[in-house]
Chain A
Amino acid sequence: MTKLVALILGVSAWAGVAVLAVLITFNVGDKNQILMFLPILAAVILAWAVGEIVTERVFPQREEDM
């Protein structure tokens, strides 16, 4: 159950990044590319960090995967 929740959390986080990137770009366009680029970058780093922490705790890496 924990693994399923972690998986759903991870997929949702990355789906959120995709939706955010499309919404920002479509609605704000190319008025200020730097200001549009930064929140997308921050969202990617946040989703990745969440994934790393969750993976570390819920899916500990096996020796043969290293």
Chain B
Amino acid sequence: MAFMSKSFNKQELHDPGLIRLIFSNTYLAPLWLLARVYLGYQWILAGSHKVWGADRWVAVDGPDGLGLKAYWERATAIPEKGAPPIKYDWYRDFLTYMTDNSWYHWFSWVIALGEVTVGVLLIVGAFTGLAALAGATMNFNFMLAGSASTNPVLFILAVLVLMGWKVAGWIGVDRWLLPALGTPWEPGRIVSAVVPHQEGPSQRLTPRHGPA
């Protein structure tokens, strides 16, 4: 078993310089700003159609979420000819369960306000990584439900912003928020002042300094 301990000896592998430049260096923060604001704008736009206007999902006369119900019913329908919109039976069962239990009344609010919130957070650059994760999750679910539309492009952008979370919000609120709050593995000034800092497992790693 010696080879096992040698293979998995907590050796930290370093990213190449180009990857670190793109995903960890504030020099390219303006590029992330463009991606982030575009993504945020698209989310607010998508959310605006659901909370605003004639075809909105919420705050309508009568029960909320009928638009979402219609969307779920279209997605879960199995046509006589051709392939159904949803490829995975477990996902179709999931949407059918939510439809049968009238979850669309409150879930329409979650989606509509969630889209606007994700958009606002991405535009102001607050909790950028978490906002991108939430956006990617919504894109992923829309794609599972058979909707292509702009979802593939927005999903890729969200994953990239998620990978560049450290610098994606640099020209934004995260420029001040992240140093103040920090992360679970590296608390910031405010958290450190309230909770005494304890050494986490990631900091016990002893990196080997090989070629970058």
Question: What is the size category of the interface that chain A forms with chain B?
Answer: 20 to 34
Which A residues are in CB contact (< 8 Å) with B44?
21-22, 25-26
Say whether B175 contacts A48, CB under 8 Å. yes
By a CB distance below 8 angstroms, the chain B residues around A10 are 176
Of the residues B41, B176, B179, B189, contact of A25 by C-beta under 8 Å? B41
Bound Cα distance A63, B48 (Å):
45
CB neighbours (8 Å) of B71 from chain A are none
Within A26-66, the residues touching B (CB, 8 Å) are 26, 29-30, 33, 36-37, 40-41, 44-45, 47-48, 51-52, 55, 65
Does B167 make an interface contact (CB < 8 A)?
A: no
Residues 103 to 129 of chain B near chain A (Cβ within 8 Å): 116, 119-120, 123-126
Known: A10-B176, A22-B116, A37-B41. A44 touches B48 (CB 8 A): no
Question: Which residues of chain A are near B189, meaning CB under 8 Å?
Answer: 65
CA distance A26 to B47 in the complex (A): 9
Most chain B C-beta atoms within 10 Å of own C-beta, residue among A26, A33, A37, A65: A26
Interface residue tally for chain B (C-beta within 8 Å): 24
CB–CB B38/A14 < 8 A: no
B65 at the binding interface (Cβ < 8 Å): no
- Residue pair A44, B45 in contact (C-beta under 8 Å): no
Q: Of residues B37, B44, B123, B125, which shows the largest number of chain A Cβ atoms within 10 Å of its Cβ? A: B123
State how many angstroms separate the Cβ of A18 from the closest Cβ of chain B.
5
Residues of the A chain whose Cβ atoms lie less than 8 Å from the Cβ of B135: none
Known contacts A14-B126, A18-B120, A22-B116, A44 near B176 by CB under 8 Å: no
Residue B159 at the chain A interface, CB threshold 8 Å = no
Residue B164, interface by CB 8 Å: no
Once the chains bind, are B171 and A36 in contact (CB under 8 Å)? no
Say yes or no for B153: interface residue by CB 8 A criterion.
no
Q: Mark B30-41, 1 if CB is under 8 A from A, else 0.
A: 000110011011
What's the Cα separation between A55 and B172 when bound, in Å? Answer: 13
Given the complex of chains A and B, what is the CA–CA distance between A44 and B171 in angstroms?
Answer: 8
How far is it, in angstroms, between the C-alpha of A17 and the C-alpha of B41 when the chains are bound?
12
Q: Which residues of chain B from 27 to 71 have a CB within 8 Å of any chain A CB?
A: 33-34, 37-38, 40-41, 44-45, 48, 52
Known: A40-B123, A55-B176. 9 other contacts (CB 8 A): A18-B120, A21-B41, A25-B44, A26-B48, A30-B45, A41-B33, A41-B34, A48-B172, A52-B175
Contact surface of A with B, Cβ cutoff 8 Å? 10, 14, 17-18, 21-22, 25-26, 29-30, 33, 36-37, 40-41, 44-45, 47-48, 51-52, 55, 65
- Which of B's residues lie within 8 Å of A, judged by CB? 33-34, 37-38, 40-41, 44-45, 48, 52, 116, 119-120, 123-126, 171-173, 175-176, 179, 189
